[in-house]
Amino acid sequence: MEQVTVKQQSSLNIAGKVRDYMMLIKFSLSFMVVFSAVISYLLAPKVVEYDWLHIILLFIGGLLVTGSANTVNQIVEKDTDAMMARTAKRPVASGRMQPAEAWTFAIIAVTAGLFILGYFFNWLSAGLALFSWFVYAYMYTPLKKVSAVSVLLGAVPGALPCLIGWAAGQDELSVGGWVLFAIQFFWQFPHFWAIAWIAHKDYSNAGFKLMPSVEGPTKYSAIQSIIYSLVLIPVGTLPYLVGMSGMTSFWIVLLANLFMLWQSVRLYREMEKKAARRVMFTSYIYLPIVLLALLADKL
């Protein structure tokens, strides 16, 4: 019985440690980021067939770099994370993991991820990944307590996975990669501000300045979401105009952009958390729909 109990306890400890590391790298967020990098890689003109080994390697390399950046973010923000209900259970904030362990993982992960990108693809993609990692971990993260400009800065590493994936497949930064970067860059503003709207009280108590208005969720903040949703409409036509994808995806992307705009307008009219959640969930489904439509209709 004692041996069985010890084995069960050991299994629970291992499962708990795995859960902690999944939380540490923010797996769901990292998966979305790496997904955009992989689709951008497949959209590159030089990638004419699916090489599953390279797809898996790109996914692993991107996940390691992104997970490392998220780990540094949690180390730096451990005290403020502990103050917010939505983040208090994170492993470093809760004390289940010591910062030294998290730092060790972050360093090993980013080193391994950059090596995979550089060795199996090219050093351009690895250099872009390193730049993205640095901006997110050491510029965006501390700026969140200083100014809402942090959201603008944070949108750069948030969109760089598209350029990383494109560079991995194309060996250069040509117009198609910048088009994908632009789509993901402008998409982030209504997406992130909807999240900040919902969690405004927690963010404010922790000292974060993330909303476009210093007063928080206001009409001005809602108008900003409308403006960036409007910008997405012409930006969404660029894949068709530069010859990346066909007319079918053109209409799918246009409809997705109009739906995003409509949800932002509803937020302005209603000014409620319920409306902000609609913008947030719309943004979650927007990106995979747009990227998969472009890939399915690749020219």
CATH code for the domain of 268? 1.20.120
Pair (144, 202) in one structural domain: no
- At a CB cut-off of 8 Å and minimum separation 6, what does 104 contact? none
Structural domain of 238: 174-299
Pair (81, 144) in one structural domain: yes
Pair (151, 181) in one structural domain: no
**Average pLDDT taken over every residue of the chain:** 92
Domain boundary among 129, 158, 187: 158
Q: Convert the pLDDT of each residue in 235-294 to its tens digit.
A: 999 999 999 999 999 999 999 999 999 999 999 999 999 999 999 999 999 999 999 999
pLDDT, position 12? 62
Pair (56, 181) in one structural domain: no
Note the pTM of the prediction, 2 decimals. 0.92
**Residue 189 pLDDT greater than 80, yes or no:** yes
Pair (38, 84) in one structural domain: yes
- Using 50, 70 and 90 to split pLDDT, how confident is the model at 147? confident
Pair (199, 83) in one structural domain: no
